[in-house]
Amino acid sequence: MTAADTAHAVDPERGTLAKAADENFPVAPFFLPRAWRTDLMAVYGFARLVDDIGDGDLAPGGADARLLGVPGDRADDRLLMLDAFEEDLHRVFDGTPRHPLLRRLAPTVRRRALTPEPFLGLIAANRQDQLVARYETYDDLLAYCELSANPVGRLVLAVTGTSTPERIRRSDEICTALQIVEHLQDVAEDLARDRIYLPAEDMKRFHVQETDLAAPTANASVRALIAYEAARARDLLNEGAPLVGSVHGRLRLLLAGFVAGGRAALGAIAAADHDVLPGPPKSGKVHLLREAGVVLRGEG
């Protein structure tokens, strides 16, 4: 058990929230108003915990299971844990939740008049991960992103009081793009979990077999496939980017950071010649800041 696992076992709430520092994008950066930071961290705590349940990444010891009323010997049953977590989510809206991260979320839900739907979407995505390990078409993957990614952007807009139908549409495009980028970065990690988020129809088109994805480095066919999916993600980012110019002040900086982070990650993938199999290509801070400047100036 690592030191982080030990800390989580003692304090599951703090252990989960501490993971924010390791995310690809700033969760609640210092320049946002304190009230926004508080509520965004509450939303993050929910999203991080449900992903940890779905990925089997909870700290050893069963602390989260006990908090959710799941017997310790069933803590590894991800579907059971997700069901218990969903039950506790409903208590956010009509009672007192058991898990401290959901108790933290309750005031945010009241302050921002949040609805259950985006939270239920994130749970449904993780439930789907237990049942679906391959996606036949790009449209199938987009439907998954509708559950796994788009609710996060919608929650950011709701917390900041800036939701409109057009902004939600643009946000969905950005969030789906970021989810696809993450899938491209994590091809090897996902395969180790017996999951492939590259559409099967595209793998066939580029003559890529599953065994090719298990190689130490990518062959020409895999690189061509990754480049194809990366171009799709970039198009989605570009379509969603006008969202940044539709808001003002600190929120504009936050949203620009999301778009810039996606573009910088795509740049890192391209710089690696689209070989993502040795590990996720990472962009440097200079590249990220440069991309943020481009987004803020509305040049790309």
Confidence of residue 16 (pLDDT cuts 50, 70, 90): low
Three-state SS string over the chain comes to CCHHHHHHHHCHHHHHHHHHHHCCCCCCCCCCCHHHHHHHHHHHHHHHHHHHHHHCCCCCCCHHHHHCCCCHHHCCCHHHHHHHHHHHHHHHHHCCCCCHHHHHHHHHHHHHCCCCHHHHHHHHHHHHHHHCCCCCCHHHHHHHHHHHCHHHHHHHHHHCCCCCHHHHHHHHHHHHHHHHHHHHHCHHHHHHCCCCCCCHHHHHHCCCCHHHHCCCCCCHHHHHHHHHHHHHHHHHHHHHCHHHHCCCHHHHHHHHHHHHHHHHHHHHHHHCCCCCCCCCCCCCHHHHHHHHHHHHHCCC
Instruction: Tell me the pLDDT tens digit for each residue of 150-205.
Output: 999 999 999 999 999 999 999 999 999 999 999 999 999 999 999 999 999 999 99
Instruction: Tell me the pLDDT tens digit for each residue of 105-135.
Output: 999 999 999 999 999 999 999 999 999 999 9
